[in-house]
Amino acid sequence: MTNVQGPAAPKLLILSLSMMLAATARAQIPEVSVTAQRAPALESKTPVAMSALSADQLTEAGIDNPSGIGARLPNVELDNLADGLRITIRGVSNADTTEKGDPSAAFLLDGIYIARPQIQNLSFYDLERVEMLRGPQGTLYGRNSTAGVVNVISKAPVNRFEAWLATEIGNYNSRKISAMLNVPVSAMLSLRAAVAWNQHDSYLTNGQHTTHTLGKDRDDLSARLSAKLKINRDATLLLRYDHSRVDDNNDSFVPDTNFYTGVAAGKPAWYGSGAGAQLTNGFVPPNAAPEQGYAHKTTSGISADLTWDLGPATLNYTGSHRSYDHDALANFYYRVAPTLALGVRQNFSGEYTQNSHELRLATNGDGPLSAQAGLYYFREQSSQTYVFRDLQPLGLPPYYVFPHGPTIATSKALFGQATYRLGDKLRATAGARYTDDRKSRVGSTNFQQGAVFNPATDFALLNAASMGTHQTTWRLGADYDLAPATLLYAAVATGYKAGGFNDGCLAGTVQLGLGCPTALAVPSNTLIYQPETVRSYEGGVKTRFWDNRASLNLSAFHYDYRNLQLSGVAIVAGAPRFVTANAGEASVKGLEAEGQLALSPQDRVSYAAALLDAHYVRYSPDSVHDWAGNKLDRSPAHTLTLGYEHSFALPDGELAAGLRSRRSASSIIAVPTQLLQYRIPAYTESDATLHYRPRKAQWSVLARVKNIENKVRPLAIDSFGMTVPSDPRTVDVRVDYRF
């Protein structure tokens, strides 16, 4: 052995220690800062069941819109459907995506509530992270968060030069380009611009003997401009403007008979055809020729976020104005009898605007009491026209039209939450929020002979309703530091989802020059549906162990739901209408676990497991059949997700290989208005990645494959049998360059 002596010895010793410390750091689980409680805190010290995905994790997994999140998290499913993003958390979801409906989970972009599901499935680009909160969040996030919260947080400008460019190619003619430029203009002002373009061909095959292309395609362009101004030492203003244009196809469904036999007999049974057959729309309408489907959507928003440190407290104001326009044509598969389906062309146009303001004051300092309180205001106004053609076999005219608007929804709230430190390790939290909601809509159901209403030949039925509801939601909780790296927490919380109304009018109502005679009126208990409420009991533990090389977040929960809102198409007065009704009571309980294991600096394991029992306690869809005990939609009894990544040291860089697989038990999609229950069998879906990072280079290459098994399942089935299938196997390669 050669002894190293002299001046070189301490240098080698220091180098050796540095390498050991670096290896140890790489082997530890990194801490993540989140804002789930509306203030920065470590995720491991936040007493809420939640998950956070960083920008690097999203990129590595190829998640470039919200629908990809659910496969990585326990008891979460996010589906990109023809009528918008469907969020299901712990079996709680919503099917009414019309202008009068509300989601069960709040979706926020940089703290701004996004009301319409049609624009929630936005492109992910230049993000800081995505936070997913599970369980009711009524105190700090307000109404329509009974299931939870999805909070998308984009990167803010920083006071240094940054830039990157990424391009991707894949099967189905997939092409993507994204870029970012951050410029420090001065010590007080920084600017950041980001853009993303995504395109791929349809995942569906046209078997209708026409030349039309089908949906489940993509063509969108999005951009964001941000400015961060340091007004003075204590005040900072962050301004953002974003704009998106989407030109895809709303024909993103196939008949339910692609997956099931026995539908006509009312007993759907799964049969195992391959992905190619399941993704083929072979329905040839007996009554009308399809047209080329399309969907043109544009959305833009401007927001301001002011933070002002006043010393003992910090004042925060967040305000936003957003607009959204949508024009679409879809060719429906429209089953009107057990063995008869029609082709129905639907045109849609809609305009939406929303404004929101929140003023919040939060205490500063390390005292025993920390608190925040605020005021909130939200207003959405929209107008839309639905036009259905080709329903003459049902005795309807050539044009069955729903012109609606203005539809106006306003929400005002007063909220506060405080945490008091009872000792060095124990804290107690109490919070409450009072919400006042108002909704109104005027419109009509028109029976027309032509595209334009003609009073001489056509007639209209009035649709007019207004309602107001108010609710106080609250939260009581406690958390305890069992050890420096172990947090115990428990909470009782309530949530509230606003009520609404269906088509029709009350006797004696007069709007738009149309009256509502008693013979055509709708009873108030049919016209109006009540708010949905939940009380949640939850406890959990968050811990890090094995020298911070392993983490575990464990939570157990039980919900009591009242007036669960279910939606679907029903025949009203001889014509199809979209109807929402309260479903009585439901019970949800379960167990969740997720975490990571850093086995070595080169090996990392991630996992997420969930048990779920979500069922109706009291519900009859038709006042005859009893569905008590039946599962809620999209609520598998158990799911398990496992991921493994290994890094290989190469002479000129590093190669990281990853594999992630999710196993889900069977679940149900029900159509209560048709008394149908579609069982989705258990499935396994896996993804793989291969990432090459050259040493001391500014570029990297990432290869990904999703849904290795190439298995397809229904994501949604509507009252007429239209089924939106999941995505097939996709493969892509991404090249990044950082300046």
Average pLDDT of the chain, as a whole number: 93
* Res. 643: pLDDT tops 60: yes
The tokens describing 505, both together, are 């009018």
Residues near 436 by beta carbon (within 8 Å), at least 6 away in sequence: 411, 412, 413, 468, 469, 470
On whether residue 658 sits in a domain, the answer given is: yes
Closest to 489 in 3D by CA, of 409, 426, 405, 576: 426
Per-residue pLDDT, 113? 95
Question: Distance between CA atoms of 144 and 531, rounded to whole angstroms?
Answer: 10
Q: How many CB atoms lie within 10 A of CB 670?
A: 22
Per-residue pLDDT, 112? 96
Residue type, 537: Y
Per-residue pLDDT, 574? 60
pLDDT digits (tens, 9 = 90+) for 312-357: 999 999 999 999 999 999 999 999 989 999 999 999 999 999 999 9
On whether residue 70 sits in a domain, the answer given is: yes
Per-residue pLDDT, 20? 44
The tokens describing 642, both together, are 């496992």
Residues near 554 by beta carbon (within 8 Å), at least 6 away in sequence: 540, 541, 542, 591, 592, 593
* Res. 99: pLDDT tops 90: no
- H/E stretch holding 10 reads helix 8-26
On whether residue 396 sits in a domain, the answer given is: yes
Higher pLDDT, 673 or 114: 114
pTM of the model: 0.93
Averaged pLDDT, 33-56: 94
Closest to 632 in 3D by CA, of 147, 50, 58: 147
DSSP 607-666: EEEEEEEEEEEE--SSSSS--TTPBPTT--SEEEEEEEEEEEEETTEEEEEEEEEEEE--
| CATH code for the domain in which residue 734 is found | 2.40.170.20
* Res. 96: pLDDT tops 90: no
On whether residue 704 sits in a domain, the answer given is: yes
Question: Distance between CA atoms of 537 and 519, rounded to whole angstroms?
Answer: 47
Per-residue pLDDT, 8? 53
* Res. 721: pLDDT tops 80: yes
On whether residue 504 sits in a domain, the answer given is: yes
Range list of H helices, 373-445: none
The phi-psi region of residue 256 (left if phi > 0; otherwise alpha if psi is between -120 and 50; otherwise beta) is alpha
Query: In terms of residue numbers, what domain contains 430?
Result: 38-738
On whether residue 61 sits in a domain, the answer given is: yes
* Res. 218: pLDDT tops 90: yes
The tokens describing 116, both together, are 């319409």
Per-residue pLDDT, 270? 97
Averaged pLDDT, 158-180: 98
The β-bridge partners of 604 are: 598, 645
pLDDT digits (tens, 9 = 90+) for 461-471: 999 999 999 99
* Res. 83: pLDDT tops 80: yes
Averaged pLDDT, 480-489: 97
- Give the rounded percent of residues in the chain with a pLDDT score beyond 70: 96
Per-residue pLDDT, 4? 46
* Res. 24: pLDDT tops 70: no
- N residues, the chain: 739
* Res. 15: pLDDT tops 50: no
Per-residue pLDDT, 571? 67
Averaged pLDDT, 557-569: 88
Averaged pLDDT, 696-700: 94
Into how many domains does the chain fold? 1
DSSP 461-499: EEEEEEEEEEEEEEEEEEEEEEETTEEEEEEEEEEEE--
Closest to 430 in 3D by CA, of 447, 449, 417: 417
C-alpha distances out from residue 77 to 47, 53, 376, Å: 23, 15, 29
Averaged pLDDT, 181-210: 97
Question: Distance between CA atoms of 155 and 162, rounded to whole angstroms?
Answer: 12
Per-residue pLDDT, 143? 87
Per-residue pLDDT, 575? 65
Least confident of 95-104, 197-206, 590-599: 95-104
The phi-psi region of residue 38 (left if phi > 0; otherwise alpha if psi is between -120 and 50; otherwise beta) is left
Per-residue pLDDT, 276? 96
On whether residue 31 sits in a domain, the answer given is: no
- Coil, helix or strand at residue 265: coil
Averaged pLDDT, 454-463: 94
* Res. 572: pLDDT tops 80: no
Residues near 639 by beta carbon (within 8 Å), at least 6 away in sequence: 74, 75, 608, 609, 610, 612, 662, 663, 664, 665
pLDDT digits (tens, 9 = 90+) for 502-559: 999 999 999 999 999 998 888 888 889 999 999 999 999 999 999 999 999 999 999 9
- Coil, helix or strand at residue 285: coil
pLDDT digits (tens, 9 = 90+) for 416-444: 999 999 999 999 999 999 999 999 999 99
Higher pLDDT, 8 or 441: 441
The tokens describing 400, both together, are 């069955």
* Res. 16: pLDDT tops 80: no
Closest to 148 in 3D by CA, of 204, 99, 205, 77: 77
Per-residue pLDDT, 738? 95
Model confidence band, residue 622 (pLDDT cutoffs 50, 70, 90) = confident
Higher pLDDT, 420 or 28: 420
DSSP 608-620: EEEEEEEEEEE--
On whether residue 6 sits in a domain, the answer given is: no
Task: Tell me the helix, strand and coil percentages in the chain, rounded to 5.
Answer: 10, 60, 35
Kindly state the DSSP code that residue 92 receives in the 8-state scheme: B
Question: Distance between CA atoms of 456 and 451, rounded to whole angstroms?
Answer: 14
Measured on CA atoms in the order 482, 484, 488, 491, is the torsion positive or negative?
positive
